[in-house]
Amino acid sequence: MSFDLNLLKCFHQVAVNKSISLASLTLHLSQPAVSLQIKKLEDQLGKALFDRHNRGLILTPFGHLFLEKTNRILKIQKEINDLTNASESFPSGQLRVGTY
């Protein structure tokens, strides 16, 4: 099973902020859009990631495990982005060497 990286980023922000509304501000998305992404991810997994309460969201035991894995994936994604951005500063092109 593969997941859209945007769904994982959305889940991560909701989990860290313990709030859909705060996550929506960080992600620059509407609250309904964030809620739909969380629902889509939970549907794909077939498991609940959050227990919903009056005071906000609490990760389920599965949600805690999923957050650990998501953190690793997002860290690797950041490292790849950093590497890609850093490689733009490396010299590139052709080098021709002639000898006698």
Per-residue pLDDT tens digits for 2-20: 879 999 999 999 999 999 9
Q: Fill in the DSSP letter of residue 14.
A: H
Q: Which residues contact 49 (CB under 8 A, 6 or more apart)?
A: 11, 15, 38, 41, 42, 59, 60, 62, 63, 66
pTM of the model: 0.80
Give CA angle at 30 (24, 33), nearest 5°.
95
At 29-74, the pLDDT tens digits run: 999 999 999 999 999 999 999 998 888 799 999 999 999 999 999 9
Q: Is the pLDDT of residue 95 over 90?
A: no
Q: pLDDT grade, residue 28 (50/70/90)? A: very high
